[in-house]
Amino acid sequence: MSHNSFGHLFRVTTWGESHGPALGCIIDGCPPGIQFTEAEIQTYLDKRKPGQSKYTTQRREPDQVRVLSGVLTSEDGVMTTTGTPISMMIENVDQRSKDYGEIARQYRPGHADYAYDVKYGLRDYRGGGRSSARETAARVAAGAIARKVVPGLTVRAALVGMGIHKIDRSRWDWAEVDNNPFFTPDAGSVELFAEYLDGIRKSGSSIGAVIEVVVEGVPAGIGAPLYAKLDQDIASHLMSIPAVKGVEIGNGFEAATLTGEQNADEMRIDADGNPVFLSNNAGGILGGIATGAPIVARFAVKPTSSILTTRRSIDVDKNEVDVMTKGRHDPCVGIRAVPIGEAMLACAIADHYLRHRGQTGRV
């Protein structure tokens, strides 16, 4: 049991607060012989990094990762995992010094301030402490290695909705995702999102978003029937991301509105003699087990709780107060959740791949 770990055979434990000296993670159970460079990890971290556009917080963090253990490093910097724990650390740099007087005493609506105090009797109020989005840098670093555990795996995510606007799925183009600050796969939506979010940002407000993660190359058979279901662990992994309020697999909540005929994914044998599904309502998972079809998961991110509008709240002495959350914030935290969603899926699948190999010897 652990409060700060996820996964079992590929097990990630994260640590660190927003305004401490550093944050990081340990990967325990990574197979030996996997090769990577710090630069590769960095490309994923850079995608999540704050300050990339006017739509993300202006905090300036280099988010430079340092691998402290678990690898043999060649002269040209290629790291090979040895099977022992991989410790990665990212130093916090831009911890703007300020007076936390009010935040230390007042509970910001939508934040975990009140909940922490009730639970622990004290909290690290600087920048959200452990609940800061900064913690997710550690996940992204872990995800960069997880991707390499399963041969031939492709993990990609995209923003598919922001506030009341959804993308046009008929225009989906993975190549577009990295061409715009919103990670939308629909080039036609970029201008709309830009205008929409500009308005929200300027008014000091915020907005929610929906992200979709698609994983291709998942070996059929990983997962398990009941309490180690692959979809269950995906749900758990995605719900662990701060601000996530909903998770669905395949056609998700829409499945509740369908008939059995509409929902069934029929099967045929393809030209190569392999089983193939004619649709993917199931999102690649049946009975908790991967079928070989692409895994499709979506998650809903609530609007950033920090807004410039005054809200009613209370303080630590149970006085009623009005709170306005100043400071640097993302108007739509959902955007930066895109690489985080990828990382969490990569970790979930790496873990289940090793578990399946362990129990069945089948890969």
Binding-site members are 48, 54, 130-132, 287, 302-306, 328
Provide, rounded to whole angstroms, the least separation between the CB of residue 228 and a second copy.
Answer: 4
CA distances from 199 to 23, 48, 195, 204 (A): 33, 23, 6, 9
- Which residue, 175 or 227, has its beta carbon nearer to a second copy? 227
Among 52, 95, 263, 280, binds a second copy (CB under 8 A): 263
84 and 109 Cβ atoms separated by less than 8 Å = no
Radius of gyration from C-alpha coordinates of the chain: 21
CA distances from 187 to 162, 177, 183, 210 (A): 14, 8, 10, 17
Lay out the site mask for a second copy across 219-258 (x = CB under 8 A, - = otherwise): -xxxxxxxxxx-xxxxxx-xxx-x--xxxxxxxxxxxxxx
Per CB under 8 A, contacts with a second copy among 13-42 are: 13-17, 20-24, 26, 28-29, 31-33
Per CB under 8 A, contacts with a second copy among 279-338 are: 281-283, 285-292, 300-307, 309, 311-314, 318-320, 334
Provide, rounded to whole angstroms, the least separation between the CB of residue 19 and a second copy.
Answer: 10
Tokens of residue 230, six digits: 């692959």
* Residue with token string 């000091």: 204
Provide, rounded to whole angstroms, the least separation between the CB of residue 82 and a second copy.
Answer: 5
299 and 211 Cβ atoms separated by less than 8 Å = yes
218 and 292 Cβ atoms separated by less than 8 Å = yes
Per CB under 8 A, contacts with a second copy among 101-140 are: 107, 109-112, 114-116, 118-124, 129-131, 135
Q: How far apart are the first and last CA of the chain?
A: 28
Classified as helix, coil or strand, 123 is coil
- Which residue, 29 or 294, has its beta carbon nearer to a second copy? 29
CA distance 262 to 126: 50
Query: With binding defined as CB under 8 A, does residue 3 bind a second copy?
Result: yes
Per CB under 8 A, contacts with a second copy among 67-96 are: 68-70, 72, 80, 82-87, 89
Question: Which candidate, 310, 309, 336, 337, places its Cα nearest to that of 322?
Answer: 310
- Which residue, 37 or 236, has its beta carbon nearer to a second copy? 236
Per CB under 8 A, contacts with a second copy among 181-210 are: 200, 205-210
* Residue with token string 């434990």: 13
Provide, rounded to whole angstroms, the least separation between the CB of residue 335 and a second copy.
Answer: 12
Classified as helix, coil or strand, 275 is strand
Provide, rounded to whole angstroms, the least separation between the CB of residue 179 and a second copy.
Answer: 23
- Which residue, 121 or 152, has its beta carbon nearer to a second copy? 121
Tokens of residue 287, six digits: 């009975």
Which listed range, 35-43, 53-61, 185-193, 276-284, lies at the site for a second copy (CB under 8 A)?
A: 276-284
Among 50, 143, 161, 339, binds a second copy (CB under 8 A): 161
- Which residue, 105 or 311, has its beta carbon nearer to a second copy? 311
Provide, rounded to whole angstroms, the least separation between the CB of residue 181 and a second copy.
Answer: 18
Q: Extract the annotated binding site for FMN.
A: 130-132, 287, 302-306, 328
CA distance 182 to 55: 8
Q: Which amino acid is at 81?
A: T
Tokens of residue 309, six digits: 């509008």
Provide, rounded to whole angstroms, the least separation between the CB of residue 207 and a second copy.
Answer: 6
